[in-house]
Structures are given as structure tokens and as C-alpha cells.
Amino acid sequence: MVMHSSRNGPTGSQPRYLASTAVLLVEVIKLLASLTLASNDMCKSNPRRSPAEIAALVYRSVFAHDCWKLVIPAALYTLQNSLVYVAISNLDAVTFQVTYQLKILTTVLFSIALLGRKISSRQWMSLILLTFGVALVQVSGPISTEDWRERLSSLMQGEIPVSSGFKGLMAVIAASLTSGLTCVYFEKLVKDSLDSVSLWTRNVQLSFFSLFPALFIGVLWQDGASIAQNGFFAGYGPIVWLTIALQALGGLVVAVCIAYADNVAKNFAASLSIVVCYAASAILFRTPLMLHSTGGAAVVLLAMYLYTSRPGPRVMLLPMSKERHSAVENPPRPLLFQLMSPR
């Protein structure tokens, strides 16, 4: 909600701030925060070390022999952001929001393939419901059956230009696959080495390698001309800085969630936040409630209940043994009757 306000609120005579600069600052803040937490962990392990020794130890742990593995998720995150930009540019908002929810299912598929996670049929049903519910909640405005029919028929019959139809659809599907692969790969990398490499050291490595695409591709290549004309911090204000701080904090919390839970739990938490945001927007900004969005919120809550709840114990009907059959036909008498009966 804060980000929406920063991107759509009035700016007066100031230009709108550039998203690429905000992304770079988020990575810088995450890098500094993770570096501080990693140094604090190493200081606790041996309080007698000097600051110079701790700095040298942090440097060796960050740039260890396996640090190159974090180049892969950093590059995949950059590719995912680029694909999202292409998809948004070539699809309408409704089609993008609905299709991009496939990342929930792709995350589960990569979790099964890379982590060997077991998903029951009940959980599969809840995940499909979650995808459907989140898609409904994120669709803004009234949507009729005719609207959906026109979108699908025009897309399938090729009435929409290839640049705005097929290209956008392929981009959003590729972004969903990239999102699932990136999240699961980072989870596997963190959990496989959590005993030897701390979570915050991995986060330092990820943020460090993410700086290069954010700087060279986003800031210099994409928005270099605007920054040269208006400056790096053009359009910045308290709401923009609050957005950047919340994004950085969210990135740190996601890392903890992935390390000590999993990406499926992260997806459910993100889905619940969408429902909370939908309800809060209706209360704070008096956004009208739509029937399909309200139904989608209910479906999300139902999916969370189905995924986290355990099925009740099954009643097993097995053949009775002779001893059990005799005990059922002649149950033991109460203790009072036993005492009163003659021996």
C-alpha cells in the first residue's frame, strides 16, 4: 500500500522517482544490514577478536570458494524483473495478474524436483485454490463473463497483435518459471550450507551480486538519461524512503522465512498479505468491494486452512480376533458388581 501511494500519489512540480534507483538502494540497504548481522554473529562466536580480525573473517566468508553459486539467483532475479516488465508492457493488467499467479505452482514443482518435498493430494488442492483465490483478489474492477470470453477468444484467434499478446503471455509464463526456480534454488543453497555458512553471509553474497545488474542494467542502461538530467534522488520524499525501507525489511524477512520454513509458507504468507491489503484498502481508501475479489479472499483463507490442517484419524475396520470378539460380546462388569458377586 505504501508502494502504491509512492507510485501514484501527487508529486507536484517534482518528477516521479525512478524505480531502478529504488531497487538499487534496497539492495544496498539489504547488503549493509546483512553485513552487520553477519559481523555480529561472528563477534558473538569469539568476543576476543578485534574489529580487524572480524572484518577479515567476514571478507573471507563472503568471498569464499563457493560464493559464485549466488551469481545464479542474482542473475535469475534480474531476468525475472525484466520478464515482468516485458509482460506488463504487452498484456493488460487483468491477464498479467491472473497468469502471474502460476508462480505459486511453479515454486511447488521446483520444490518437489530440487528438494524432494512431498505434497499430498489435499495440499495440491489447497495450492490450486490458493492460485485461483489470489488471482481473483488481484483482479480490480468488475469483470463479466463476456469480458473474459472476449479476452480469451481474441488471444487464441490472434486478433491481438503478436507483440502485445503472445509475447506478453510467454514472458509472464517464463517469469513464473524463473520465480519458482530462483526461490527454490536459493532455499536449497541456504539449507544445504546452514551449518557451515550463516544465513546472513548468504544474504550478503546475494545482495552483493545483485548490485551489478541493478546498477548497470537498471540505473545506467535503462534510466541513465533521466538520472543525468534530473539527478539520482529526483522525486524522493518521506513516502519513497519508507517504501525503500519496507522493501529492504521484507527482503530480510523473506530470507529468514526461506531458511527456517520454506517457499510454500512464504507464498501463503504473501497471499494472506494480499487479502489483508485488499481489506485495508476498502477501509482506509474506501475502495469498493467487488464480489469476485471478496470471494477470492475467502478462497485464499480456505486454501490456507486446507494446507495447514491435518485430516482426522481414519477409522480402520479390521477383522476381529477371537479374544476381541469375546470381549465385545461379554464386556467386563463394573468393579462394584465384581465386589458384590459371590466368589
Residues 216-245 have pLDDT tens digits of: 988 999 899 999 999 999 999 999 999 999
- pLDDT above 90 coverage of the chain, percent: 27
Q: Please check the confidence at residue 21 and state whether its pLDDT lies above 60.
A: yes
Nearest to 98 by CA among 168, 33, 161, 40: 168
pTM: 0.73
pLDDT in tens, 253-275: 988 998 888 888 888 888 888 88
Query: Grid coordinates standing for 2?
Result: 505504501
Task: Return the domain boundaries, the chain.
Answer: 2-311
pLDDT of residue 253: 92
Please state the rounded mean pLDDT for residues 291-309.
87
Please state the rounded mean pLDDT for residues 122-133.
91
The one-letter amino acid at 224: G
Higher local confidence (pLDDT), 331 or 213 = 213
How many Å apart are CA 292 and CA 274, to the nearest integer?
14
**Taking the mean position of all CA atoms in its chain, how far away is CA 257?**
10
pLDDT band at 152 (very low <50, low <70, confident <90, very high): low
Backbone angles phi, psi at 298, to 5 degrees: -65, -40
pLDDT of residue 142: 54
Higher local confidence (pLDDT), 88 or 140 = 88
Query: Grid coordinates standing for 66?
Result: 563457493
CB 208 within 8 A of CB 35: no
Buried b (16+ CB within 10 A) or exposed e, 138-148: bbeeebeeeee
How many Å apart are CA 252 and CA 257, to the nearest integer?
9
pLDDT of residue 325: 47
pLDDT band at 105 (very low <50, low <70, confident <90, very high): very high
Q: Characterise 288 by phi-psi region: left (phi > 0), alpha (psi -120 to 50), beta (else).
A: beta
How many Å apart are CA 157 and CA 141, to the nearest integer?
25
Q: What is the DSSP letter of 12?
A: T
Buried b (16+ CB within 10 A) or exposed e, 280-311: ebeeeeeeeebeebbebbebbbebbebbeeee
pLDDT in tens, 38-49: 888 888 877 777
How many Å apart are CA 292 and CA 278, to the nearest integer?
12
pLDDT band at 150 (very low <50, low <70, confident <90, very high): low
How many Å apart are CA 50 and CA 122, to the nearest integer?
54
> At which residue does the C-alpha cell 529492504 appear?
248
Nearest to 54 by CA among 111, 273, 62: 62
pLDDT of residue 281: 79
- pLDDT above 70 coverage of the chain, percent: 82
Please state the rounded mean pLDDT for residues 150-154.
55
pLDDT of residue 153: 58
Nearest to 29 by CA among 37, 41, 17, 19: 37
